[in-house]
């Protein structure tokens, strides 16, 4: 019953049905008892999960928020799940439609108690994308907000890609860094 309730609740956080389905089937019971606590007991309440495609980074990020909620670790169990490319797209679209302002989109990412940024580093690096990323990360860093970031790139690779160390130095300071190595997506 708890698992079904958790699955239903994920839709309000913009978690796709595919990810929701995989989340509850991808990790074995043994792995969930060893991998999740490793993530959950991190010193900073924030994580940077990196590794190749299919290593379960997104699943671990979501599990972090779900299991923390179950353990009553946070006062406010809400979280926002974003793909940074989609944030940039939504901001650009807001210029065309005048329906939402750039400031509102950035503020949502800055102020939510728990934020998952999925697939950081896949966006085209521009001054605009660097600026938006810095605004989000710097605010969360300064306000001690839980941030979980997934990427196919290590922090040094992201620093090179951004050609700027302000974001990566803050991520390194606020997050425990976990290199995800085991393939899950391509298991048969």
Q: Does residue 8 lie within any of the structural domains?
A: yes
* DSSP 8-state secondary structure symbol assigned to residue 98: -
What pLDDT was estimated at residue 31? Answer: 52
What pLDDT was estimated at residue 114? Answer: 86
Tell me how many degrees the CA angle 61-22-87 measures, rounded to the nearest 5: 50
**Whether 151 contacts 172, CB under 8 Å:** no
Q: Does residue 61 lie within any of the structural domains?
A: yes
Determine which helix (DSSP H) or strand (DSSP E) holds 36, and give its type and residue range. helix 29-40
Residue 166 has pLDDT above 90, yes or no: yes
Q: Does residue 76 lie within any of the structural domains?
A: yes
- Quick: pLDDT tens for 124-148: 999 999 999 999 999 999 998 989 9
What pLDDT was estimated at residue 188? Answer: 44
Q: Does residue 184 lie within any of the structural domains?
A: no
Q: Does residue 186 lie within any of the structural domains?
A: no
What pLDDT was estimated at residue 113? Answer: 84
What pLDDT was estimated at residue 75? Answer: 43
Q: Does residue 105 lie within any of the structural domains?
A: yes
Domain of residue 24: give its range: 2-179
Q: Does residue 104 lie within any of the structural domains?
A: yes
What pLDDT was estimated at residue 72? Answer: 44
Q: Does residue 185 lie within any of the structural domains?
A: no
- Quick: pLDDT tens for 9-57: 566 666 677 766 666 665 544 455 445 545 545 556 788 999 998 887 8
- Quick: pLDDT tens for 55-106: 878 877 877 766 655 444 444 457 788 999 999 998 988 888 776 688 899 9
End-to-end, the C-alpha distance of the chain in Å comes to 28
- Is this structure's pTM higher than 0.75? yes
Residue 112 has pLDDT above 80, yes or no: yes
Number of domains in the chain: 1
**Whether 151 contacts 112, CB under 8 Å:** no
What pLDDT was estimated at residue 141? Answer: 95
Residue 167 has pLDDT above 80, yes or no: yes
Tell me the CATH number at 32: 3.40.50.300
Quote the CA–CA distance of 150 and 82 in Å, as a whole number: 11
Mean of pLDDT values over 150-175? 94
């Amino acid at each position: 019953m708890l698992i079904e309730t958790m699955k239903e609740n994920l839709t309000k956080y913009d978690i796709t049905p595919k990810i929701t389905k995989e989340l509850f089937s991808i990790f074995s019971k043994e792995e969930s008892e060893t991998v999740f606590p490793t993530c959950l007991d991190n010193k900073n309440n924030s994580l940077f999960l990196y590794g190749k495609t299919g290593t379960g980074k997104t699943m671990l990020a979501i599990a972090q928020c779900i299991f923390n909620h179950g353990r009553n670790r946070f006062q406010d169990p809400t979280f926002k799940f974003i793909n940074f490319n989609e944030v940039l797209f939504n901001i650009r679209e807001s210029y065309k439609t005048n329906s939402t302002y750039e400031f509102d989109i950035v503020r949502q990412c800055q102020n939510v108690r728990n934020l998952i940024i999925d697939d950081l580093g896949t966006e085209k690096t521009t001054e605009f994308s660097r600026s938006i990323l810095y605004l989000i990360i710097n605010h969360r860093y300064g306000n001690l907000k839980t941030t979980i970031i997934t990427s196919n790139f290590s922090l040094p690779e992201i620093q090179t890609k951004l050609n700027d160390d302000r974001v990566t130095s803050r991520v390194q300071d606020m997050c425990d860094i976990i290199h995800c190595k085991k393939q899950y997506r391509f298991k048969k």
